[in-house]
Amino acid sequence: MKRNAIRAGALAMLFGTTLPAQDIAGEWQGTLKAGPQELRLVLAIDKSADGKWNATFSSIDQSPDWGARTPVDSITLQGANLKFAIAALRGSYEGKLSVDGASFEGAWSQGRALPLEFRRATPETAWKDPSPHTIQFLTVDNTANKPVNLEVLDWGGSGRPLVLLAGLGNTAHIFDKFAPKLTATHHVFGITRRGFGASSAPSPSATTYSADRLGDDVLAVLDALKLSRPVLAGHSLGGEELSSVGSRHPERVAGLIYLEAGYSYAYYDRARGDLGIDLADLQKKLEQLQPGKGPQDPRHLIEELLATTLPGFERDLKEMQKNLPPAPSAQPAPAQVPPITQAIMTGMQKYTDIRVPVLAIFAVPHATGQPFKDDAARAAADAQDEAATGAQAKAFESGVPSARVVRLPHANHYVFFSNEADVLREMNAFLGNLH
């Protein structure tokens, strides 16, 4: 009896000292030492409405985009033990929460295990973005009764407003070093699109990430900031939002600048087509043929399918078939496309009527950044890239009469990094001639 009483007392003491469920929401910072290199890592954790932990991960010393975040695929907290994994990086972490809840001590594994301590960031200790901008969040939409807030950067400056839009996967912070070089003559802003960085990420649907929805987000920011006829400059996929605004509401902007952004999602060349955009268009039209989902009289839709949509799609398939490489003996696993990225790709539209002054800068041919076995192989790669990119640049030039098209040989896709002086020169000349 006495032994049972002692055992019961011991159990009571054990449960009485068990740590309560920890709130680990917030930002955690750690410095990974990999040989002579030190990398600052940020783990941002939050809890969903159903009580599950979610997180994003960023390495702020490895990317020029301070706001870029990689989604964490799985994260668990069992007692004091934290585990998370990131498939895109083939990396994982295991650590133990300290008694005071201020740090995790553990190891980051990515090929090999390295010690890594995460400490909870505070307003005093949080690493600060060195770029000279302010940050605000503006509501642009309500989805499922939840506000969609976009991160908006303001670098200041004087003159006509200039709004910078990032490419797919980037945030407005990709312009942290570039934007301040434009503030002498313009008031410069940047917008992080929905689904990325610190902006809201509504669940993907047929409409939440369509091209015009993303364009409407930009217009909502212009309204909130009370910007009158700004210039919009977009990199890569940012050209989609430029064309959405410029084709539907040309009166809202003074001009558009496409920084390696004038591809099919921004200007659709009917003569060449685009497999991805044509496939999305075909799927939408076929869905309208289902009972109750399309027009009562489908004759016009059927005529359009037979006259243009299906022949164009057949052309795309033949072109794809012609360019397919030899089949490998072992088929690699298909690349996983994040749902938001997939929604954006599915939501692309055909823009052909852009009615404002335009500057479009293309890298023709692109700098590959990879070695070649000889000069002949390099020349062949350049010729192939120049044929494809050059054809799109020519189509843009002939299809948008208001456009000045600039071709920069061997520039990087991030042309404002690789050819900063050229881009600034062309932008300043274009901006200086606008009314």
Distance, in Å, from the CA atom of 399 to the CA atom of 18, rounded to the nearest integer, reads 70
Domain of 51, in residue numbers: 26-120
Q: Are 235 and 261 in contact (CB under 8 A)?
A: yes
- Is residue 166 assigned to a domain? yes
Judgement on whether residues 282 and 262 belong to the same structural domain of the protein: no
Judgement on whether residues 247 and 313 belong to the same structural domain of the protein: no
- Is residue 289 assigned to a domain? yes
**Number of CB atoms found within 10 A of residue 377's CB:** 11
- Is residue 94 assigned to a domain? yes
Distance, in Å, from the CA atom of 341 to the CA atom of 204, rounded to the nearest integer, reads 9
pLDDT tens, residue order, the chain (435 aa): 444 444 444 444 444 444 455 788 999 999 998 778 889 999 999 888 788 899 999 998 888 898 888 889 899 999 999 999 998 888 999 999 999 999 999 999 988 899 999 999 998 999 988 999 999 999 999 877 889 999 999 999 999 999 999 999 999 999 999 999 999 999 999 999 999 999 999 999 878 999 999 999 999 999 999 999 999 999 999 999 999 999 999 999 999 999 999 999 999 988 887 777 877 777 777 777 788 777 877 888 777 777 777 776 677 677 777 777 776 666 666 667 788 999 999 999 999 999 999 999 999 888 876 555 555 656 666 667 777 788 899 999 999 999 999 999 999 999 999 999 999 999 999 999 998
Judgement on whether residues 142 and 178 belong to the same structural domain of the protein: yes
Judgement on whether residues 151 and 286 belong to the same structural domain of the protein: no
Total number of domains constituting the chain: 3
CA 217 from centre of chain: 15
Structure tokens at 314: 């057949």
- Is residue 99 assigned to a domain? yes
- Is residue 127 assigned to a domain? no
Rounded to 5, what percent of the chain is helix, strand, coil? 35, 25, 40
Q: Are 262 and 404 in contact (CB under 8 A)?
A: no
- Is residue 21 assigned to a domain? no
DSSP secondary-structure letter at 182? G
DSSP for 27-91? EEEEEEEETTEEEEEEEEEEE-TTS-EEEEEEETTT-S-TT--EEPSEEEEETTEEEEEEGGGTE
**Number of CB atoms found within 10 A of residue 107's CB:** 14
Q: Are 288 and 301 in contact (CB under 8 A)?
A: yes
Distance, in Å, from the CA atom of 167 to the CA atom of 413, rounded to the nearest integer, reads 10
- Is residue 13 assigned to a domain? no
**Number of CB atoms found within 10 A of residue 244's CB:** 25
Judgement on whether residues 153 and 210 belong to the same structural domain of the protein: yes
The Cα-based distances of 343 to 81, 87, 205, 286 in angstroms read: 35, 20, 7, 18
Judgement on whether residues 151 and 202 belong to the same structural domain of the protein: yes
Distance, in Å, from the CA atom of 384 to the CA atom of 411, rounded to the nearest integer, reads 15
Judgement on whether residues 252 and 356 belong to the same structural domain of the protein: yes
* First CA to last CA distance, the chain: 95
- Is residue 11 assigned to a domain? no
Bridge partners (DSSP) listed for residue 75 = 84
Judgement on whether residues 154 and 46 belong to the same structural domain of the protein: no
> Side chain identity at 208, as an amino acid letter?
T
Judgement on whether residues 60 and 191 belong to the same structural domain of the protein: no
Q: Is 379 exposed, middle or buried (0-12, 13-18, 19+ CB in 10 A)?
A: exposed
Q: Give the residue from 120, 146, 169 where a domain finishes.
A: 120
Judgement on whether residues 54 and 193 belong to the same structural domain of the protein: no
Which residues neighbour 262 within 8 Å (Cβ) at sequence distance 6 or greater? 239, 360, 362, 392, 393, 396, 405
